[in-house]
Structure 1
Amino acid sequence: MSRIRVTNLTKRFGSSTIVDDLELTIEEGEFVVLLGPSGCGKTTTLRCLAGLETPEGGTISFADKVVHDAERRVSVPTHKRNIGMIFQSYALWPHMTVRDNIAYPLKVRRQKDALRTGAVEKAAGMVDCEQLLDRYPSQLSGGQQQRVAVARGLVSEPDLVLFDEPLSNLDARLRDQVRTQIHQLHQRLGFSAVFVTHDQSEAFALGDRLAIMKSGRLEQVDTPQQVFDEPSSDYVAQFIGMANRLDLTRHQDGWKASNGDVVHLGDRTPERGSTDTVVARLRRDDLRLHRPDDRVAPGTTVLHGTLVTTEFGGRHHDVLVDVDGQKLTLQADTREHGGWLPKAEGGHPVVVSFRSSDVRVFDAEGRAVRGASVVTPIRATGSATS
C-alpha cells in the first residue's frame, strides 16, 4: 500500500462548511493524528475517508485508486475501501461472541481463506484477547471491549486503519494501557492509520505526524517534536498546553507586561518596527515560583504578582497567580515550597520567573514570531501537504 492523498476536500452540512478545502498526504505505514477541539472537523474528515460521509468537493485516493472524486461523481462505498475502523463506542454486535465480532469484516469481504487459516485467533492474540473469544460483549470490561474492537479493525489487514477517539470512554489507567497497546501494534505491524483525538497527550504519544485542525482547516502539520517545540500559531500553542498567556507591549527599554515588568524574549524578540504588541506563551512547567525575597537566577524574567489559589497534588502544588489581571498557572515543588505555600492566603505577594528560551511569541494575527521572521500558519493558504 502506497500513500493516501486527500486533495481540496470540502464537506458542508447545510450552510455550514465543516471541512474547508483540506489537503493531506498519509505515507505508507504512517500514523497521522487529527488533533483539535470539538467541532473543528476532524471526525468529519475521518468519516469522509471511511466513506461514511460524502464530500461536496475534492478527491481521496488510496494508492492509485480514487475512492472519491466529487467532480466526477465517484464514491466507492465503505465496504469496498479496505479500511478498518475503531469507534469511540466500541460498536460491537451484542448478540455475537468476540470471535464472531472479530470475524465480521472477513465475512463481509468473503475472505474465507483468512477465516480458515486462523486470522481471527491471530488478531485476538495481538491484543491479548484469545481467552475472551467465546464470551459476549456484555461479559467484557470497557478495556476488553475496546481491545476486541481494535482486533476487529486489524483482522482483515486493511490499507488504512481509522481510529475515532477510541480511548475517550476508558478510565485513565485503561486509556494508558490501550494507548500503549495501539502504539506497540503500529510499531510491529506498520499499518497506515488516522487517529482522531482532542487529547494532546494521546496525539504526542501515538503520532508520526500531527495534523492540528481549526474550523475545518489544517493549522499545522508536523512531527510531535516540531509541534511541541515550534507551534506555528497562537491557536496551536494554546491547544498543545501553552496555556499561560502574557500580552506584551514594546517600550524603549524592552517588552513589558501590563504590570510594567520587563519580559526577556531572547532570540524570539521581534525586529524593531515590525509590531508593537505581541503575545507570549509558556507552559506551566516553564514557570518557577518564588517568595518576594528569594534569589532568582540571573538573566531570567521576573514577574511580580499575587497568589490566587493553591491545590495539593502530592509532589507538587498546582498554583494560580495573578499578574495585573493575567492569570498564570504553574506547578510548585512540594519539597521546596511545601512549608509556606499551603499556609499562604489569596493575595499573598509572590514572584514568578522563567527563561527566555521557554517563551514562544506570536503577533497580533496569531502567527509565530522567530526573531526577524514570521511563520505563516497553514490556514493562511487553506491547505497542507507533507
Structure 2
Amino acid sequence: MPWKETTTMEQKVEFICEWRTQKYSITELCKAFKISRPTAYKLISRFEKDGIEGLKEHSKAPQMHPNSTKEDVVKNILKLKEKHKHWGAKKIRKLLFNVCIEDDIPSVVTVHNILSKNGLVIPQKRCKRVKPLFPIFDPQHCNEVWSADYKGKFLMGNKIYCHPLTIADSKSRFIFSAKGHYKETLKNAKAEFTKVFRTYGIPKQIHTDNGSPFGSVRAIQRFTQLSYWFIELGIMPVFSDPGHPEQNGRHERMHRDLKADCAKPSAYDLKAQQRRLNHFVKEYNHIRPHEALDMETPASVHLFSTRPFTERIKLFDYNSKFKIMKVTQNGAVRWKSKHWVYLTIALKGKYVGVEELGNGIWSVYYYNVFLGYFDDMNIRNKQTSIRLSQNLV
C-alpha cells in the first residue's frame, strides 16, 4: 500500500484540528509538523480571523507600490474611456494633461494596461499593411490637397439610406463638413462644396475616388460636371486609381471612425443623424488628438486658405494660339462644318480651346487643363465623327 501524499493545505488544516483539541502544546505541535513557532502562531491568527479560507496561500506581491498609478488618475482614465469608447491609450493619455497633474500622468503602456485590466480593450484583427506604389499626393501644407468622398450608405431607423458627404484637408485632417444626404447627386454635392468654399476658401487640388458625382472611368480624364466646376474655380481634380482606396488612406481611416460613432447604431431619421455627424466633426476637429499631428488636434494645426471662393465665374481668356470652339448640346464640337469631334456631355454649352501640334494632330484644353487629342486626317479619311483620344497616335 503506497504512502498517502498530503498537500500543504491539508497539513495546515490538520495542524489547526490538533491545536483545537487542546491536547498538545504549541511546542509539541511545531515539533510534530516541523514548523517554527512564528509560523504556528501565524496560522492560528489567520484561522481565528478568516476561518479555513485564511489558511490558503496568500499572494506575496506587495499591496502598494511606490510607483503605482494614483487612484484619481485611474478614475480619470476610465472616465475618459467611457466618454470616448473608440479611442486608444495614446489619445486617452493626451487628454489626461487637461485634468491631471503632469507628474502623475503614466506612460502610454501603463494607460493601456489599466484599460486592459478593466476589460476596455477590444483586440483588433491585424491587417497586412500595403504601401501604395503610386501615391496620388503627399501634401506638405494645409489647403494644398483636400479629400472628399461619399462614405458608404447605411440604413437609418426609418429604413431610409443616409449618404454622408465628407470633405477634409489632407494635411491637417481638419473635417470641413460631414453632410448627410438622401442621394449622391451633383446638386447635393455642389451645394455643400459651395458652403464649405465660402467659409474656408478653396484648395489647390481636390482628391476623390471615381464614383459619381466626383469622377467617371468612362469620361475624358475621368472628369464629370463637378470636376469641370472645380476647374473653373481654379481647383485641379485628382483621382485615386480604380480599385485602390488605399491611395486616399487617411480619408478612409477617418470614415472608419465616423462609421463607428455615427452608424453603429444609426439615428432614426436624417435630422437626428445630422446631429450625430455634427457632433463627430466637432469632437474630431477640436478634442480628439491625432497621431500624425504629434498628438495635436486638427483644429490647432489647420490654417484657412488664402484663395477666396469666386461667386461669379468669369469666362476664361484663352491664348491667341488656341482656336476657341463651343461644345454643343450633344457633347461634341463641329469640325470644319461637316464633321464632329465628341468630347463629353458634361461640357455642353462650354467653350474649349484647340491647339494644332502639327501633322493634323490637335490638342484640346478646357481652361488650362488638357483633355486629349484628335487627328484631323482621321476625320477626313473616315468621313465621320470621332471621339477625343487621351493618347497621341
TM-score class, shorter = under 0.3
TM-score computed with the length of structure 2 as normaliser: 0.21
Rg (Cα) greater in structure: 2
